[in-house]
Amino acid sequence: MAAVSEREPVKESAINAEASSYPDDDKVGFPGVPAVVGNALRGGLIGSAELVPGVSGGTVALVTGVYDRLLYNGSVLLSGIKGGIAGPDRGAQLRRANRAIDWWLLLPMALLMFLAVFSLAGVLHDFVENSPEVSRSLFGGMVAASIAVPLMMARESARGEGGFKPVRAAVTLVLGFVIGLILVSIPGEENPDPSYLIVFFAAAIAVCALAMPGVSGSYLLLAMGLYAPTLAAVDERNLAYIGVFMLGALFGISAFIKLLEYLLTSHRTITLLAMTGLMAGSLRALWPWQDDDGALRGIEGNWPAMLGFFVIGVAVVVAVLVAERFLGQGKIADPPSTFGETKTAKD
């Protein structure tokens, strides 16, 4: 995939951005067809990941090197909308936010993400339902290999702070692991006919996983009993259900993305370590041998085949990382200076 388009860094966090804090330079230029196609493919991968219980779209964004940029641009977009609705100079705030946003990143990714969700919902659901051990082994390998990404990003962040603080790092990793383990161990009973109010708030909770590596939105829906009804609504084009779900998702992400940006701006290293722990804990959901109620079974006789699928999953992620490092000139992620260059002394 081609590297994501570059832009002039913004020196102030978008979390408290007013119109004056947006750059006054020209809009982000067209980065070229390969970069736009690469961004679209990333969006397709993120959308596909969100359909699979135990796999996080945020993890895919980390692996493909666009996590920080997505969070930053999403935050600027939300700040611009807020300023355009209630700000003192609404037109100016919208125009400046428009110049600050990398639309060549957001629009192609959003388009392919929605296309992937609507076109693959039935296919991936059938794969997960009909081949549970194979799918868990494959996706487990992908998530396991992805754990290295936030860990290496945390190491890079810590270098500018004099290195890791061992006790704090260890406690954060353990807490993240325990929380991730708890989240994927919650038993869920399917709700075949949920009310729209339940759908709204379930979407608001589950969509936060889109921005948080290690937390699977699909698994949260599964725990709340709405995974199958939601996939069925998408597959059957139930517009009322989909509309309520999208409103809930917008409500949830608009609040959560600001919190995450603050954490990655002011506490970058510790936040990345927490993400690492969350991803490690989430592997419990991807243990190949499970009962229908999620109880884990021991290793069974088909373990060589399952190990093979696990290795394939690892190889896929390693290949993506190698491609991203090569195309990105050796960088796993190249965030805007909003993240990691300001207010990082605390961690």
DSSP string covering 159-197 = HTTTS--HHHHHHHHHHHHHHHHHHTT------SS--HH
Decide if pLDDT at 74 tops 60.
Answer: yes
Query: How do the domains of the chain map onto residue ranges?
Result: 14-327
Q: What's the whole-number mean pLDDT along residues 2-23? A: 40
Termini Cα distance of the chain: 32
Mean pLDDT confidence for 188-198: 76
pLDDT for 190: 63
Asked if residue 253 lies in contact with residue 211, where contact means CB atoms within 8 angstroms, the answer is yes
Cα separations (Å) of 34 from 40, 41, 114, 317? Answer: 10, 10, 20, 20
Predicted confidence at residue 10, as pLDDT, reads 38
Least confident of 58-62, 198-202, 275-279, 311-315: 58-62
User: Given this model, what pLDDT does residue 87 score?
Assistant: 64
pLDDT at 252 exceeding the cut of 80 = yes
pLDDT of 302 strictly over 90: yes
Higher pLDDT, 123 or 211: 123
Kindly tell me if the per-residue pLDDT of 275 is higher than 90: no
- Answer whether residue 287 shows pLDDT above 80: yes
Looking at residue 76, what is its pLDDT?
85
Instruction: Check whether 344 has a pLDDT greater than 60.
Output: no
Confidence category of residue 329, pLDDT binned at 50, 70, 90: very low
Average pLDDT, the chain: 78
Angle at 29 between CA 5 and CA 256, to 5 degrees: 55
d(CA 335, CA 66): 8
DSSP classification of residue 296: B
The pLDDT tens digits for 122-143 are 787 788 788 989 988 998 898 8
- Work out the angle between the directed axes of helices 90-100 and 67-86 (0-180°, nearest 10): 170
Percent of residues, the chain, with pLDDT higher than 70: 82
Strand partners, 290: 296
Tokens 């927490």 locate to 274
Q: How confident is the model at residue 5 (pLDDT cuts 50, 70, 90)?
A: very low
191 band by pLDDT with thresholds 50, 70 and 90 = low
pLDDT at site 316: 86
The predicted model gives 294-307 an average pLDDT of 90
Look at 164 and 334; give whichever has higher pLDDT: 164
| Residue 299 pLDDT level (bands cut at 50, 70, 90) | very high
Amino acid at 327: L
The answer to whether residue 345 scores a pLDDT higher than 90 is no
**What length is written for the chain?**
347
Between 288 and 341, the more confident residue is 288
Does the pLDDT of residue 331 top 80, yes or no?
Answer: no
- CB atoms closer than 10 angstroms to residue 326: 10
Q: Tell me the one-letter amino acid at 64.
A: T
Per-residue pLDDT band for 328 (boundaries 50, 70, 90) equals low
Highest mean pLDDT among 112-116, 212-216, 304-308: 304-308
Task: Quote the pLDDT of residue 61.
Answer: 86
> How far, in Å, CA of 317 to CA of 145, rounded?
6
Q: Is the pLDDT of residue 339 over 60?
A: no
Q: What is the pLDDT of residues 138-188, one digit of tens each?
A: 988 988 888 888 888 888 888 877 777 889 899 999 999 998 888 777 766
Q: Does pLDDT of 324 surpass 50?
A: yes
Residues 91 and 191: their CA atoms lie apart, in Å, by: 45
Q: Is the distance from CB of 202 to CB of 226 less than 8 angstroms?
A: yes
